[in-house]
Structure 1
Amino acid sequence: MSTTTRPLLSAAGLHVAFPGRRGAAVARAVDGVDLDIRPGEIVALVGESGCGKTTLARSLLGLVPPTSGQVTFGGAPLDYGSRSLKAYRKRVQLVLQDPSGSLNPRHTVYDAVAEGLRIHGYAGDEREAVAGALSRAGLRPPERFFLRYPHELSGGQRQRVVIAGALVLEPELIVADEPVASLDASVRGEILALLLSLRDELGLSALVVTHDLGLAWNIADRVAVMYLGRIVESGPAEQVLTAPQHPYTRALLSVLPESGEVPVVLTGEPPDPSRVPGGCRFHARCQVLASGEAERTGVAADCRTTLLPVLTGGDEAQVACHWAAALRGDRPEKVGLGKEWPGKEGTATGSRTPR
């Protein structure tokens, strides 16, 4: 992916906060994010439940206006007026996790796919457009599925109908929130292969939101790892997944069967966006700090007290970690630690299985 290509979708300094109930602390669900998605690129946004990735995705879709910061599409700031948002959502479509919940059980497949066309006042041949979308989603011959209802389809077929409902409007980008989480293992590969073929054949961009780094391994061009409202590591998928630098990324990767690593069990409380700690936001659960390795490296105090800047949204490998910086000879610019420390991308070794 060329770094000179202008991003299709960008977030700059994005914050999304939700007021607490009855005087409770504000929840900083997205707490400073820069992210770029380029034409024809698949970006995987990875993190455990509660890290803010779904809120970030919803904000990029215009469903949740940011508290501060800006989303741009095609170089133009996102306009939150109802007419502008309607036009925007024709170009950027959402694919949800649970196809059973996404589809109205009383609507036929034809009506489910045609719904977007009707909302946006499509003036062409509706039947032809629906057939084309179903065919591109892998449901062939499409006419065979027109009059079927969701309960008559398999889980994989239902997910293909949801994808067809997004494709029928010929979007430039899709946001897929856990697109295969509810599917059997035998079907997951088929849906991932479909997303890759849509990228290759249609030039479609995608943001894939997932907790599964194994999925990112198989589909993504670039990976952004999110923890407690911020992206803590990002870069080309092969580089991040074969040479992870952030302890959190290493912990996520360690549980993959193919990693060959001893699984890292994170201690402490799960992320709470209303109680973001000082210093590195991961330090309370960090296995490197707990083991004494950060102390031996001389960065333990920084981990607990020194804030890390927001990573830029570019293509280069970046990591927000004092320990990773110390391993580079106490030169944080070598691992691209955000805007305040500009520098070249880090190095990676190894290779991954071809996608």
Structure 2
Amino acid sequence: MNPLTPDGGASEAGSPVRAGASSAAPSAPAPSTPLLSATGLKVTFPGRRGAPAARAVDGVDLDIGAGEIVALVGESGCGKTTLARSLLGLVPPTSGTVTFAGQPLSYTSRALKAYRKRAQLVLQDPSGSLNPRHTVYDAVAEGLRIHGYPGDERAAVGEALSRAGLRPPERFFLRYPHELSGGQRQRVVIAGALVLQPELIVADEPVASLDASVRGEILALLLRLRDELGLSALVVTHDLGLAWNIADRVAVMYLGRIVETGTVESVLTSPQHPYTRALLSVLPESEGEPVVLTGEPPDPARIPSGCRFHARCQVLASGEASAVADRCRGEELPVLGGSGARDVACHWVRDGAEVTSGR
């Protein structure tokens, strides 16, 4: 099956059908009532020994609705992990605001502790996320103990493991991480996030370290949790094929900015930004030759003037965008709106170019 066609096919063995293909999936929320919202978010890291500051996140608007899965896509170094951690309060923003359920995020220790009961992080490497000296029971119960859970701890741990697909849960209570498969360890990490009954999870490359045969199972689990619990998710990934299989909306990030956003169908079946087209071109199912990006890799300490992608843009290099070349090199593009309406930060596209190719 081709992840670039709207038939709900999987891009890799065992992957589930697209989220939007299920009639049981809840409808996307109104953009006016996001669960999580970032406005003008910037995260800057000071340079060492006189080096310029790194603008890892350089003005981002992003909304996530209740019961919605948003995929944040981009190559390594684009700022997507820093953005995700800033949304969770793990990296305080240099400027801009984050709101959750309509309330601005406060960065006091007490407020962040309360927030992290409602918004949980799932990391890429389950082996690194789990203490090898802790049993599965202790790993899942850790959040309950930190937050002083007043109820039946054993029942809560068992329910979380069961929801994560580890059944019967009692079978796993006394096992250690080294006794589990990679997929089982990732399920334990997910159970540790679920045990606090959050409204949002942020999954940073949640299947990147797993075998292809296990990835589909974890993606199917995330979809089931969305359908059963109304759970929202931000899935951080470099894999547009994964985005096709799981997301309702896609935000493509390059050098600290969102450069294209929209529904997963609109972005992946009709990519507009040259960067999105380049990312899609390297998927095995794509037609034609892969787009090889030229120029230097992104450097958040040396963001170019104008469109920040222009030095590597295959459309500009080919001469197709000659009519807007001066603007590409010298005129900054506006920050895209956070609601996820179809939008592209590209002078060439905004000047009226039509992109009908799948690449």
TM score, norm. by length of structure 1: 0.91
- Whole-angstrom distance in 2 between the partners of 1:153 and 1:2: 37
With CA pairs under 8 Å and 6+ residues apart, which has the higher RCO, 1 or 2? Answer: 2
Contact 1:239 1:349 in 2 (8 A): no
Counterpart of 1:307 in structure 2: which amino acid? E
Aligned to 2:346: 321
1:61 aligns to 2:85 (yes or no): no
Equivalent residue of 2:351, what SS?
A: helix
Query: How far apart are residue 5 of structure 1 and its match?
Result: 5.2
Counterpart of 1:128 in structure 2: which amino acid? A
- Whole-angstrom distance in 1 between the partners of 2:341 and 2:110: 36
Aligned to 1:250: 277
Query: How far apart are residue 124 of structure 1 and its match?
Result: 0.3
Equivalent residue of 2:62, what SS?
A: strand
Where structure 1 has 5 or more consecutive residues not aligned to the other structure, the ranges are: 330-346, 351-355
Change (3 A) 1:4 1:230: closer
Of 40, 43, 51, 2:70 maps to 43
- Whole-angstrom distance in 2 between the partners of 1:259 and 1:238: 15
Contact 2:31 2:65 in 1 (8 A): no
Change (3 A) 1:219 1:153: same
Query: How far apart are residue 327 of structure 1 and its match?
Result: 2.9
Q: 5 Å matches for 1:1-355?
A: 1-4=28-31, 6-295=33-322, 298-328=323-353
- Whole-angstrom distance in 2 between the partners of 1:308 and 1:277: 12
Aligned to 1:353: none
Where structure 2 has 5 or more consecutive residues not aligned to the other structure, the ranges are: 1-27
Counterpart of 1:56 in structure 2: which amino acid? L
Change (3 A) 1:348 1:131: farther
- Whole-angstrom distance in 2 between the partners of 1:26 and 1:106: 39
- Whole-angstrom distance in 1 between the partners of 2:110 and 2:310: 44
For these two proteins, the number of residue pairs brought into alignment is 331
Query: How far apart are residue 3 of structure 1 and its match?
Result: 2.7
Query: How far apart are residue 349 of structure 1 and its match?
Result: 9.7
Counterpart of 2:85 in structure 1: which amino acid? R
Aligned to 2:23: none
Query: How far apart are residue 159 of structure 1 and its match?
Result: 0.1
Q: Residues 58-84 of structure 1: CA distance to partner in whole angstroms, max 9, x if unpaired?
A: 100001111000000000000000000
Contact 2:132 2:176 in 1 (8 A): yes
- Whole-angstrom distance in 1 between the partners of 2:30 and 2:305: 33
Equivalent residue of 2:295, what SS?
A: coil
- Whole-angstrom distance in 2 between the partners of 1:23 and 1:349: 45
- Whole-angstrom distance in 1 between the partners of 2:66 and 2:286: 31
Contact 2:29 2:66 in 1 (8 A): no
- Whole-angstrom distance in 1 between the partners of 2:235 and 2:29: 20
Equivalent residue of 1:257, what SS?
A: coil
Q: Residues 256-306 of structure 1: CA distance to partner in whole angstroms, max 9, x if unpaired?
A: 1112232111111110000000000000000001111111xx111111111
Counterpart of 1:320 in structure 2: which amino acid? A
List, as ranges, runs of 4+ consecutive aligned residues in structure 1 with deviation greater than 6 Å.
347-350
Query: How far apart are residue 129 of structure 1 and its match?
Result: 0.3
Equivalent residue of 2:49, what SS?
A: helix
Equivalent residue of 2:127, what SS?
A: helix
Equivalent residue of 1:231, what SS?
A: strand
Q: Residues 113-156 of structure 1: CA distance to partner in whole angstroms, max 9, x if unpaired?
A: 00000000000000000000000000001000000000000000
Contact 2:241 2:283 in 1 (8 A): yes
Equivalent residue of 1:151, what SS?
A: helix
Equivalent residue of 1:299, what SS?
A: helix
